[in-house]
Amino acid sequence: MQLLDGKLVSGIIKETLQVEVEALQRQGLRPPHLAAILVGEHPASKAYVASKIKTCEYLQFKSTLIRLNEDVSESYLLEQIQALNESDEVDGILVQLPLPAHIREHRVIEAIRPEKDVDGFHPVNQGRLLAGLPSLLPATPYGILLLLEHYQIPTAGMHCVVLGRSNIVGTPMSVLMSRNTYPGNCTVTLCHSKTNDLASYCREADLLIAAIGKAGFVKADMVKPGAVVVDVGINRGPSASSPQGYRLTGDVDFDAVAPKCSWITPVPGGVGLMTICGLMKNTLKA
């Protein structure tokens, strides 16, 4: 078994991004600027946004964090997005999800100018992805492509099984892996909570991508020997020994599954770090 090492690969990608920012500076151009909107006090969302802002600082991107109260009105949030859309100083906009129940997520996503939608969630970007046109890719699937590419995983002809059909990961991932590009050219099965005998599909997977948000869901008897396993899960479990009081675990029972795999991503240190790389690459592109 070998690790698909998100720490290593994200480090390499960040170095190339730094070089590109320096090249912009030499041309007298300003660095990329990411604006993030965080609504409320969701602990995981706060942590994700903090690490996105920290990565901006590391890369010498400009960043703006707009923090809004949990009870902010939808119309006020839309006004904030409109101002960012109109600003020539802002290249990328992200609104951290989930949003409080009184705010319509689709209204918020649709309010972001597609050219600044560095999460790749806008229907224009999702539609362009589906049509095989250039677009801003959703950051997690993009990060997974970068990881598979770095390790030159020979995906063509593989049976790729994706667990989870979210708009953020599972659905775009299934489309990208079926495209006639590298990494891709897979035969794809998209499994979800209503799939009958889901384990039987997993056992047929040459490439298994787990994005269902259930800690340790994928067990050793669900994995074909020699499979490539990509674990998208970032689940918080209790831990008395860690300073934060929680520890992160994936959707895959890593200790049991890893010995059966040819390649596997760890959690932490896998897809999460690659997601931030996808976001930063999108921001530079935007």
The upper half-sphere exposure of residue 29, i.e. CA atoms within 13 Å in the direction of its Cβ, equals 13
Residue closer to ligand GUN by CB (options 119, 206) is 119
CB of 97 to ligand GUN, least distance (A): 4
Report the distance separating Cα 220 and Cα 228, nearest Å. Answer: 13
Report the distance separating Cα 93 and Cα 38, nearest Å. Answer: 11
Q: Is 8 in the site for ligand GUN (CB under 6 A)?
A: no
By CB atoms closer than 10 A (0-12, 13-18, 19+), residue 262 is middle
CB of 84 to ligand GUN, least distance (A): 14
Q: Is 119 in the site for ligand GUN (CB under 6 A)?
A: yes
Which one of 70-78, 91-99, 153-161, 260-268 is the stretch in contact with ligand GUN (CB under 6 A)?
91-99
Residue closer to ligand GUN by CB (options 48, 263) is 48
- The encoded tokens of residue 22 equal 């320096």
CB of 95 to ligand GUN, least distance (A): 6
- Site map (CB under 6 A) of ligand GUN, residues 156-175, x = contact: ------------x-------
Residues classed as catalytic: 52, 96, 119
β strands within 57-172, DSSP E: 62-68, 92-95, 159-163
Nearest residue (beta carbon) to ligand GUN: 97
Site for ligand GUN in 9-48 (CB under 6 A): none
Report the distance separating Cα 157 and Cα 188, nearest Å. Answer: 10
CB of 216 to ligand GUN, least distance (A): 20
Number of H helices, E strands in the chain: 10, 11
Report the distance separating Cα 69 and Cα 204, nearest Å. Answer: 46
Which one of 55-63, 72-80, 82-90, 92-100 is the stretch in contact with ligand GUN (CB under 6 A)?
92-100
CB of 49 to ligand GUN, least distance (A): 8
Contacts of 200 (CB under 8 A, 6+ apart): none
Report the distance separating Cα 23 and Cα 127, nearest Å. Answer: 32
Residue choice 97, 124, 215, 256 for contact with ligand GUN (CB under 6 A)? 97
Residue closer to ligand GUN by CB (options 137, 148) is 137
Report the distance separating Cα 172 and Cα 137, nearest Å. Answer: 8
The upper half-sphere exposure of residue 91, i.e. CA atoms within 13 Å in the direction of its Cβ, equals 19
CB of 106 to ligand GUN, least distance (A): 13
User: Does 98 sit behind a cis peptide bond, omega within 30 degrees of 0 on the bond before it?
Assistant: yes
Which one of 93-101, 174-182, 201-209, 242-250 is the stretch in contact with ligand GUN (CB under 6 A)?
93-101
Q: Is 96 in the site for ligand GUN (CB under 6 A)?
A: yes
Contacts with ligand GUN, residue ranges (CB under 6 A): 94-97, 119, 139-140, 168, 275
